[in-house]
Every structure is written in C-alpha cells, then in structure tokens.
Chains A and B, each alone.
Chain A
Amino acid sequence: MQSEVMFAGFGGQGILLIGKILAYAAMEEGFEVAWIPSYGPEMRGGTAYCTVVISDRPIGSPIIKNPLHLVAMNRPSLEKFSNIVRPDGVVLINTSLIPIGSGRNDVSELKVPAVEIATELGNVKAANIVALAAFVARTGLVSTETLKKCVKQEFAKKPKVIDLNMKALEEGIRAAS
C-alpha cells in the first residue's frame, strides 16, 4: 500500500516543512518514506511544492506523476495540480486564499480556512500546521498523536512557537471533523 501526498503553495508558506513533518511522522510509525522537493529557481518566491511518499514496502520510483492526495495552500497550486490527483484522494483546499473548488467529483475535498484559523491563534505563519493537521486527521495516514510528537520535535529549538503550533494542530484537527 502506497500513498503519495503533494504539498503545494507559495514559497514562504512552509510547504516543504509540513511535507517533512509528515514524512517524519510516517517514518516514526515504521513506514518507508521519501520526501521529494522541487528545487532550483522555482524555490525563489514562486510556487513551492514537494511530494511525500509513504509506503509499507521499499519505495521504487520517487517520481510521482499522479499523487493520491493534494494539499493546496494557494490558488495557482490547486489550479495546477488538482487534475493530477488520483480518484478517491483527498484534496485539501486552503479556502482563505482559494475561492474556488477542485472541479473534481471523484475526490474528497477538505476545505480549511487555514490562514484565518492561524491568524486567530495569533500568527499567520502557523497556517501550514493547521492544514497539515486537518489533512492528517482526515486521511489517517499517521496518527494525530505521532503528528503532535513530530511537530513538537520540529520546533524543539524554537520553544516560543511550540504552543502556537500545538494549538494550530488542535484547530486543524477540529477543522477536519
């Protein structure tokens, strides 16, 4: 069984980071994982995306043409990638920045106003964690407990933001329910 998640958004939205946290969490749960970034000039200010592959056996091709899921944090990402998601996948739409839907009726849309939720918590930067938590809660790719542990670990060197991100995580889980 293999799942692939594409995370996409603006550079600076913390896209690569939430991909990495998910990969870490899946590794903690004993899965084989690979995190594949986009790199190069596109890292500078434009669209950032990465793919996380989670599998119960060694991962062959790290190049994923059709991921199972998509976490779209901005409109260009949704427009660019919604069509490549496999049927029955989850498409998370950050409705704070995306006023449109995926246009697909064979995927499960998860609409989360991630930016508003994070702003209410006091820092817009936590929108990525809100989205990640919502996505994990909906898909169950890893347990929310493992996710919490990994978010804490990720911010271990910045204790000031741990609280904020733990709250973002809770709110994200709530938004998915």
Chain B
Amino acid sequence: MAKAFQKPKALFDVPTHYCPGCTHGVIHRLVAETIDELGVRGRTVGIAPVGCAVLAYNYIDCDFQEAAHGRAPAMATGVKRVRPDLMVFTYQGDGDLASIGMGEIIHAANRGEKFTTIFVNNAVYGMTGGQMAPTTMPDQRTTTCPAGRQTNDVGMPIRVAELLSALVTPAYITRQTVIKPKFIKRTKKAIKQAFTYQMEKRCFSLVEVVSTCPTNWGMTPIQSIKWAEEALLPYYPLGDLKTPETDEK
C-alpha cells in the first residue's frame, strides 16, 4: 500500500526545539517538500538567520550557511553571484529581516538577486525572549513595550511585503499564513512558486508567512491562532503583492 503521508527527504526525522504551537515546523516542512518536489536538494544552499530559526539546519537536510543577524540576503547574494547554478534560500524572522537586516533585504530585492526569502512574521522577537519587533502590532505587549506598542513613539508596524512591492525591479512578493490548513496549502504553493521563479532565473522572490508565537505572546496555541486571525491578518492581508508577470504588463 502506498504511503499517504511521509516525511520529506529534505527534512531530518528529529524533534525540533520549537515551542508548542510554533509554526516554524510547518514552514520548514513546506520548504523541505518544495526542495523534494523540485528535486534540487543536491544543489540547494539554505541561509539560516539569527533568531529562533538559527538552527533550521538541524531540521532541513541540505547545505546550509549560518548568517549574522540580518545579513542572510547579503550572504545569499554572495553565493548566488559566484554559483548561479545553486538554489539559494534565506529563512528569516521579523527582527532579522525587518529590523537589523532591512538594508540587506531591500537592496537584494532591488538588484533582483535570484534567490528566495522565506520571511516568517510573528510580530515579536522570539529567540531573545519576546521583545518588540518592527512588525509588532499597535498596543501589542512585549517585554520591551510592556504597556503595548505606542505608535506615537515607535511608529506603526512595517508591512514588509508591501514595502518591497514598491520596488520597480520585477519580483515575486507574496504574503501567506500557516494558521489554518487551507492557508498552509496556499503557502506551500507560494513557496513552490517562489523556488520555481528562482529555478527559471526570473526574479527575486519573497514569501512572507504570518505566523504565531504562543510563548512570547503569552497565549495558548489555540488562542494565538485566533489572535493572529483577528489582529494580524487585517493589518497583514494575504495574497500576491507583486509577480514578474504583473511587472511585465
């Protein structure tokens, strides 16, 4: 009998260090499935961020580099420029990509570097213990804004996908989420699409994945899904913001 469900080859069969209810595991799996389905594991290089996913290489089985905080797009640029035949993806969180690494992601996207970025946005710093992120919502409480994010003091959260979509260089920029199964399927499709654009050497691609962090949000996994749906998704709407096809029109 054929197996109806199995672990992707590009995923190690090990328990992760992620907290209960964290969606990194799901997103890792989607990346691994994509690598399997495209048959590119032997020429894929992942770039791990600084953040909760710093140990992504313990779970995804392909060549991996470990970047400094925010610098994954610069490293991916270095790899891709000297080895255009390799498939390269960065896997970054909101503090990594949208705060310390904003310069690197904008310039890599604007140069049209032919790599893929998986941008996991859960509106908080995870690994350092729940500090305010550039994507933290107004009035959302974190350890560095215990009274909630004061937008008159630190501004509104940054919509990374929209910001990058404003660049004129053709790119694939999309926002998805993994908080429900139907969304997971769409996220998988988007990740595969992003890798495909890269394979075709067409453009830079970024998949923003709205995600949860029950631990640092101080919620149960169920509560966090509800909060993500009610608080995050209205501000971070899902869908493709930019595709090379629309750019070509």
Query: Per the CB under 8 Å rule, do A and B touch in the complex?
Result: no
Chain A contact residues, CB within 8 Å of chain B: none
B residues with a Cβ closer than 8 A to A are none
